Every structure is written in structure tokens, then in C-alpha cells.
Structure 1
């Protein structure tokens, strides 16, 4: 039966104290404890250097992000369990989007606090524990060092004496017996420090669930983007291919009708029927293309697209759109899709005599409100597509709320962030 390889120094120690001493884990533990001083000194110099420069003072506040990233990577020396970053991925590329995202995150300020405590206290406490082990190692190796370096006299090594060689060998033997105890103590301390670092720089929920949630969110975003791209491709193919051919068929049948004008018989009836069917098919295809992605949304933006939806709605719609700037394309597409689905639900289920659509910008987000004066009682579990709308909003990091008491009115409110 094969035993799984330890993933941390603590697991290696718990698996067998004697075997632990024969591995590289004790040396990795000591190396981790001592290397923190260098990280602390570099961060302190960088932080103080940025603080004294007025234009870079804000950047100094984000230096904790860099130190935290180094600390999560340094954990691999003593703990192979993944330590992913708790930060969100900026919604847009570039330094400005990255800076704005990091500046608003709680994790950024938690990391800055950790960096200050680490540089002032923790790094030096870690180093002290590492030096304790090194001191025990020096006691063991002192006779060998003295024998190899005759120019170093025993009285210059304060803790050795001038002891006779036999006494030094006895002290070396005592150090050899003490060294495993020191290795165990330092490893236990490092295990506690690793746990503290994980709580502060990764999160209490654990790294694996966080990583899975982050990857799931990214995969949902990629899926929505792929679906939008596929819809645009289908729209283009239908508009440039099938719709043009069907238009040509309708025109040909129209010319055939002119040639058969004034005649009677089965041939004329078949041509008339084919002409009407081609016109109906062309109208249905245009409806389908329009429903995939309206050209008004691409050319004129969300206000024009919402106006088109309002004009086509069977229920009269009051439209109030106030958008000082054009939102990002993915926000426009989501808002148009949600408004279209909501108005379709109004027409099918509400029994309303009036509906309204309002869109405005508030706090860096597009706020969309769709309401009606119908019977109310809308239920997300009732198959009205509200769950799909909620999924679409959540992918963009937005929020959706529904108020629909029995007897109405119904109000669907959606917030779609436009920031990085």
C-alpha cells in the first residue's frame, strides 16, 4: 500500500517524527522562517519610498497586495496546498481598472494590515525561531568548525569556552540530541504561522472552494460571451444568407404572378399560395433576426433598442431612459435582453393595461426598472424565465429584485455594474 506524500511540514512531522528528520522538510521550515526578513525589509523600503512621494502615496497603500502575493507563493516552501488570491479579476484590462478594483476590495486593506504587522513583528519572530534552530546546529558543528579553522580559537566562541576538546564533544553530543526537539518546535510554530497567513491572505472558507467559485464565475462569463458571439454569428448568417435568398424567391414568385395575371387554373393558385407563404416566411425570419440582436442596439445604443421593444409590445409601454453615456456592450446587451423578456412576460401573463420601462445611471451602474399594472403574483418558480434573468445578471456582478404582490403592480429592478 502506497502512502500519500505529505503536503506540508506539519503532515510530514505527524506522519513520523524520525522519518521527518530524514527529509528536507526541517530545512524548508528553517529557510521559510529566515527568508521572511528579506521580504519584510524590501517591503518596508518600498512602502516608505512611495509614501514620501506625493504622487505615489496611493500606490503605497497597495504595496500590501504585492507582499501578500509573495507570502502566498512563499507558503509553497512549507505547505503545498494551493493558496489562491482572494482578489476579484478586473472587468477591464489596464492599470486603471486594476487599481480601481483593488482599491475597493476589503482584501486589499486586510493585506496592508498584514504587511505592517509582518514587517514590524512577525518576520522577526519567524527569524528568531529559525535562528534558534541554527544555534543548535552551531553547537553540534562547533568542534568540526574549530578543527577546520585553526585560526579561530575556542575562547573566541563565547558559548564554547575555552573548554577542552572532550568537553566540546560532549556539548556537541548534547546539541545533537537537542536538535530534533528544536526542529519539532520550529515546525509547530511554522504550522501555526501558516494557518494565520492563510486566514488573513486566503480566507477562512479555504482555498479550494474559493478557487472553484472563482473559476465557476469566470466560466459562466465565458459561456455568456460565447453565446452572445454565437447569436451574432447566426444573425449575420441569417441576414446575409437565408433572408436574401428568401427575398429572391419572393421576388421571383411575384414576377411569376405578373406573368400569370389574368389567367386562371391550378398553376395560378399554386403560384399565389407560394408567394403568400414566402412573404409569411420572410416576415417570420425578420422577426427571428430582430429577436436575436437588434441592429438598433448596435447602431444607436440601448435607448433606441428599448424604444423598439416598447413600440412592438402588445401592451402600451411608457418609456423613460436617461443614460448620460453609453454603457459597455455587454451591459447594453443584457439590459435589452432582460427588458425584452420582461415585456414578453407582461404580455403573456400579467393581464396588464399599461407597462413602463425606466433606465438610468446610478452609482456606476445601469438601473433598469420594468413594471406593469397587472394582476401580480409573478413567481420565479412558475416557468416565466425569471431564474434565467437572475443568472444573466449575476454573471455581470449585478443584482435583480422582484416585487409582485397578488393584485399587482409588478416591478422588476435590475442593477448592472458598468465599472471595472
Structure 2
């Protein structure tokens, strides 16, 4: 069901074949009940304030999901009291449609209930036999789809008014912001899963083929006499294949390190430290593994910071710290270089900042002239 509101659905050609007409009917028919409850609570709400109207407003927000899939929450306010006043008037067309539905159903079911001693009285005529009741039944069948559209119309108008009162513009904006944040997080999760898949395919596929090629070239190199015409070419191909394997492993490691998947963040950070040309000290206090997307983002923050320090800082020592306290994962990279780093001059840290923000985290850079430079990222788990 791709449509999110009754208005979106009513414009479709297949509207009558979906669940929306029945949802609209249920919404409209339940309105008089809500109106009765609202009228009962209204005097108390006018005296006691919005808190008294809050239960009815919560009920209506749940009922509103029948015809409007958008949801949000907000504190009680006088808008809730205003809805109690409005729903009493909104119940009038609902009562009219309820009577119309009763009449149409009576017309359709007439042939099953009429008998010579039992007439179907309709106010504008009566029927005592199946043949007399059949035209009324056909008229009822013809009117029923039209009645469903009327239910959708009334439900749409009612839902629009209810949403305007129960979800003021500020709340709607906050709701949309939550949706955007959730969609960004889903994209990051999907991107991380795709990185893992590519890393696995390269590790299990391309890398194994290159290893097999190196072995075959090594065997060919041993079998060929040193002074044969092709020995030098085979030896050169063997050397290039080994260099290709080294570069492929570096590339796979950059996509998603195996140590991170298998052993977690502390082991992956220590592996980064071992591969750094600058001495790196790692302090980790991460007693349990955070979610995979957050763990991956924290790893790449450290990897990018170490790469920048190696290329630009002139540092002689780097400190890496990671901790998980109060459901917040914090990673911090500090070097003793000359400082003056600026995130706006490169896309690496900017891209990491966007990735952190998509996960609800923050990335900060402190790099005064003369150093030290500190990159710090925090992620709520």
C-alpha cells in the first residue's frame, strides 16, 4: 500500500479495490462515538486545561492512522481542546452517512428478507416479494460505490481538520525531520552492508584468483630454464602478480577491514596502529560491541585521521582513544604535529562528518597553529 493518506488513495483508479474505502468507513462511523466522548470531556477541559483533553486527543491520533499514515507526538496544548469543540460538528456528516449506509444495505439485502406477510418498507415505497425488492437491491448496489467515495471525502476532510489541530506546523516539521533522519540512517546502513558485500566478494573471489595465478607463475618460473627466452617474462609477470596481490589486499582492507568484522573495534584500531608509519598508542575501553554501522563509522574516522596526520601533520607520535560510556561511543585521535588543519580544505573529514550526522553523531576538529591536532567523534548507541 504505497499511498499514505486517504486523499492520495481516492485519486487512484483502483481505489474501490483497496483497503482505503473500508478504513475511511470505519473512521467515519467511529466519529460520533469520539464526538460523544469529546462533548462529555469538553466542560472539564475548559476548566482543567489541555491535560484533560489529552486522552481524547491521543485516541484521535491513533484513530487518525486509519486514513493518514503520518504520525507524530507532541505535548498537550490548547489545540487539543480546540479539537474537542470541532469534532462535535464533524460528527454531523458522519451521522448522515451512517443513516445512508443503513438505507443502502437495507436495499441490497431486501430480496433476502421480504415475504408475503413481511414487507420491506422504505418510506418512499414497499416491497412484498423478491421481484418487487429486486429493483431496489440493484439501486442499492449502484449507490454503494458512490457511498464509499462519500465516506472517503468526509474522512479526508475530517482528517485534514484533525491534523491541522492535533499536529500544528512545528510538530509536522519535526516529524518530517525525524523521517529524513531515519531515511539517512537507513541509507548509511545499506551503504555499509554493500561495502561488506563488496569486500567479501573481492576477498573470496578476485583475491583467491590472484593467489592461484601467483602459484601457477611461480611453478612456471621454476620449470623454465634460467636462460630460456620466456623465463624473464614469466619472472616479471610473477613479480607483478605479487605486487597486484599486495595492492588488492590494501584495497580490500580500505573497503571494510576483516579484523573489524571478526574481532571488533579494539582489534581493528590496533591493526591500524601497527600499519601506521608514525608510532601510535591505542587506548580502548569498549566492553561490548556497538551496532555495526556505528562501529564502522568510528573505525573510518580513526583511519582518516591517521592518514591525514601521516600526510600533513609532521607528527612524531599519535594517541588513539576509544570508549563506550552511557551508551555513547567516543573515538579521539590526537597527534603532536604542527597543527593548522582545516576540514574545509579536504573532502575526507567533511564526508566523515556527514556520515556521523546521519547516525546521530558528531565530529569535531581542534587544530590550533603549533598543535596538537585532535579529531573527536561521538556516536549515540
- Normalised by the size of structure 2, how large is the TM-score? 0.63
Q: CA deviation at 1:68?
A: 6.0
Contact 1:367–1:413 under 8 Å retained in 2: yes
Tell me how far apart the structure 2 counterparts of residues 63 and 371 of structure 1 sit (CA, whole Å): 53
Map 1:182-221; keep pairs closer than 5 Å: 195-199=164-168, 203-204=169-170, 207=172, 209-210=173-174, 212-221=176-185
Q: CA deviation at 1:306?
A: 0.7
Contact 2:38–2:88 under 8 Å retained in 1: no
* CA deviation map 1:306-350 (0-9, x unaligned): 110111112211100001212111211111121111111111121
Q: CA deviation at 1:192?
A: 9.5
Contact 1:356–1:370 under 8 Å retained in 2: yes
Tell me how far apart the structure 1 counterparts of residues 39 and 243 of structure 2 sit (CA, whole Å): 74
Contact 1:310–1:319 under 8 Å retained in 2: yes
Q: 1:67 is matched with which residue?
A: 59
* CA deviation map 1:120-166 (0-9, x unaligned): x6566457778999xxxxxxxxxxxxxx9xxxxxxxxxxxxxxxxxx
Among candidates 339, 363, 366, match of residue 376 of structure 1 = 339
Tell me how far apart the structure 2 counterparts of residues 282 and 276 of structure 1 sit (CA, whole Å): 10
Tell me how far apart the structure 1 counterparts of residues 184 and 343 of structure 2 sit (CA, whole Å): 21
Tell me how far apart the structure 2 counterparts of residues 132 and 260 of structure 1 sit (CA, whole Å): 97
**Structure 1 unmatched ranges of 5 or more:** 1-6, 8-27, 43-61, 77-81, 88-106, 134-147, 149-189
SS of 2:251's equivalent? helix
Contact 2:57–2:166 under 8 Å retained in 1: no
Tell me how far apart the structure 1 counterparts of residues 190 and 77 of structure 2 sit (CA, whole Å): 40
- Does 2:261 align with 1:298? yes
Q: CA deviation at 1:384?
A: 4.5
SS of 1:385's equivalent? helix
* CA deviation map 1:182-237 (0-9, x unaligned): xxxxxxxx9998755333xxx526x3x55554443333223222222222222122
Judged with a 3 Å threshold, the aligned counterparts in structure 2 of structure 1 residues 297 and 40 are, in CA distance, closer, same or farther, namely farther
Judged with a 3 Å threshold, the aligned counterparts in structure 2 of structure 1 residues 192 and 238 are, in CA distance, closer, same or farther, namely closer
Q: 1:335 is matched with which residue?
A: 298
Tell me how far apart the structure 1 counterparts of residues 92 and 356 of structure 2 sit (CA, whole Å): 56
Contact 2:335–2:374 under 8 Å retained in 1: yes
Q: CA deviation at 1:304?
A: 0.4
Q: CA deviation at 1:377?
A: 1.8
Contact 1:399–1:415 under 8 Å retained in 2: yes
Among candidates 361, 373, 377, match of residue 414 of structure 1 = 377
Q: 1:241 is matched with which residue?
A: 205
Contact 2:367–2:373 under 8 Å retained in 1: yes
- Does 2:270 align with 1:307? yes
Q: CA deviation at 1:65?
A: 8.8
Tell me how far apart the structure 2 counterparts of residues 132 and 68 of structure 1 sit (CA, whole Å): 17
Tell me how far apart the structure 2 counterparts of residues 302 and 242 of structure 1 sit (CA, whole Å): 26
Q: CA deviation at 1:298?
A: 1.4
Contact 1:403–1:411 under 8 Å retained in 2: yes
- Does 2:227 align with 1:260? no
RMSD: 3.8
Q: 2:312 is matched with which residue?
A: 349
Judged with a 3 Å threshold, the aligned counterparts in structure 2 of structure 1 residues 193 and 325 are, in CA distance, closer, same or farther, namely closer
Judged with a 3 Å threshold, the aligned counterparts in structure 2 of structure 1 residues 126 and 248 are, in CA distance, closer, same or farther, namely closer
Return structure 1 stretches of 4+ with deviation > 6 angstroms: 31-34, 39-42, 62-65, 127-133, 190-194
**Structure 2 unmatched ranges of 5 or more:** 1-6, 8-26, 42-53, 94-122, 124-158
Tell me how far apart the structure 2 counterparts of residues 268 and 127 of structure 1 sit (CA, whole Å): 91
Q: CA deviation at 1:366?
A: 0.5
SS of 2:189's equivalent? helix
- Normalised by the size of structure 1, how large is the TM-score? 0.58
Q: CA deviation at 1:373?
A: 1.2
Tell me how far apart the structure 2 counterparts of residues 70 and 321 of structure 1 sit (CA, whole Å): 46
Judged with a 3 Å threshold, the aligned counterparts in structure 2 of structure 1 residues 124 and 220 are, in CA distance, closer, same or farther, namely closer
